[in-house]
Amino acid sequence: MSEGERAATPAPAPAGGARTPADPPVVEATGIVKRFGPTVALNGARITIRPGETHALVGRNGAGKSTLVSVLTGLTAPDEGTVTFGGEPAPRPSDRDAWRRRVACVYQKSTIISTLTVAENLFLNRHDRGAGRLISWHATRRRAQDLLATWSVDVDPQAPAADLSVEQRQFVEIARALSFGARFIILDEPTAQLDGAAINRLFGRIRDLQRQGVTFLFISHHLQEVYEICDMVTVFRDARHIVTAPVADLARADLVATMTGEAAADRREERAATLDPAVTAALNVETLRGEGYDDVSFQVRAGEIVGLAGAAGSGRTEVAETVVGLRTAAAGAVQIAGNRPRPGSVPAALAAGAGFVPQDRHHQGFVPGMSIADNATLSVPGRLGPHGFLSRGRRDRLAQVMIENLAIKTPGPELPVSALSGGNQQKVVMARALADDPRLLVLINPTAGVDVRSKEFLLDKVEETARTGAGVLVASDELDDLRMCDRVLVMFQGRVTDEMPRGWHDHDLVAAMEGVDLDA
């Protein structure tokens, strides 16, 4: 048996994933200090993770979570403090193979190489070699098949990685981590791009792997997931460890208060939408038909917030993208503030009065190497100077107003957006959407991957925008995004199947999104 095959075989685990009190922690970090110039990213931080746990690490953006992950994976050496694995000191930073045998991280951004097959990704730079030291592709594919079967990952090892779903990529990355021998895996925002059914499958696989002796550190901004899948939770705030406790002993309101350092507020006050039927509707969608949806009709009135809910594949994202011109409908019509923009044209939709926050800020929302000022003003060149000439002074003044209005934490408008935290990057995307005082604001998963405080701020800004008379369309499967809506339209398999007024219950909305009839 080769070294790779031995690593692919699960280590014996106690029955049911149980552990004995004498077992040393899988990983323990104590007194961790890390500075980047004048910035203190971690200040005496600590965490202890026991065998067989699924341990949550939560905190607002900038709390130190990412830096701790870098320390725990050996990518960053702490200035002070110690890290141990199973009671033994962490490997030298240069010994990458030793780190891989102890810990692996499945990041929110996949590290799978799309141009390679699944087998090539699993054993990159570890291929079996035959006579003459040439790669034996047959042996590599056989090892990949054995590895995937061992960990119950139902993926063809010869399939191009580009054809995998987000869910399948995550399972392949977990299998690759386990092939090195690691039995401690960090999951960084693993559900950010998954629908409800895929999340349930992921949680099922986590529980299965726990029973086989795998321990997880689970990082998420979705607190309901922490309560669903995790045993323990550690909270970081302002680069420090605040508390570690069993999840069952920490009420959600107390957890939020610990993360923010403030008493948890009740859900925002009910917003009394003032809807004047005499005012032109912000959006009219008439019998829209296209790829992923069919016969969709609805209206968003001026000052109204309408949710478009549904699981992935329901058609909600496709409809929202059609409204703002990212897609072209096969039939039907879209009318924005009384205007009918040219179908399939984002500039035409913006000119008609739309503002837009896309689904994926990293690929659709901003240009990473450009400054905050340039990103925030991309959609309003006419406000930056006459005849196509841009005034840097005008740009910076407008950007500074946006920075203050959206409370973007930055030393100045020239900072590249890539240098901001996720929550502040999303605020830049929102700033651009609001730059031209839109009559219609279209948001797709507007709080995905942002911390609790940023989420609350962004949702408050949406309600503030509606109070000015703009209509808002929120396409999302995140319940917190939908609670502020005056009504929620539910899509299932490409059609609007239900409408729920404000005050809906979570289980009713989730059931409708999943196509479940509770009265049956």
d(CA 97, CA 95) in angstroms, rounded, equals 6
d(CA 302, CA 471) in angstroms, rounded, equals 5
Asked whether the beta carbons of 341 and 327 are under 8 A apart, the reply is no
What is the pLDDT at residue 478?
83
Domains of the chain by start residue, with CATH:
24-112+181-260 (3.40.50.300), 283-513 (3.40.50.300)
Q: What is the pTM of this model?
A: 0.56
d(CA 36, CA 67) in angstroms, rounded, equals 10
d(CA 341, CA 351) in angstroms, rounded, equals 8
As given in the structure block, the two tokens for residue 502 are 């404000």
How high is the mean pLDDT in each 10-residue block of the chain (520 residues)?
Answer: 37 42 86 89 95 90 87 94 95 90 85 87 72 71 85 85 86 85 88 77 88 91 85 93 94 80 50 66 95 94 95 88 95 95 94 91 79 80 69 80 87 84 87 90 89 86 93 91 94 92 84 68
What is the pLDDT at residue 407?
87
**Of all helices (H) and strands (E), which one includes residue 128?**
none
Secondary structure, 3-state, 463-514: HHHHHCCCEEEEEECCHHHHCCCCEEEEEECCEEEEEEECCCCHHHHHHHHC
Q: Looking at this protein, which amino acid is placed at residue 7?
A: A
What is the pLDDT at residue 129?
63
What is the pLDDT at residue 394?
78
Which of 101, 94, 100, 105 is CA-nearest to residue 68?
A: 105
d(CA 449, CA 316) in angstroms, rounded, equals 19
What is the pLDDT at residue 263?
52
What is the pLDDT at residue 45?
95
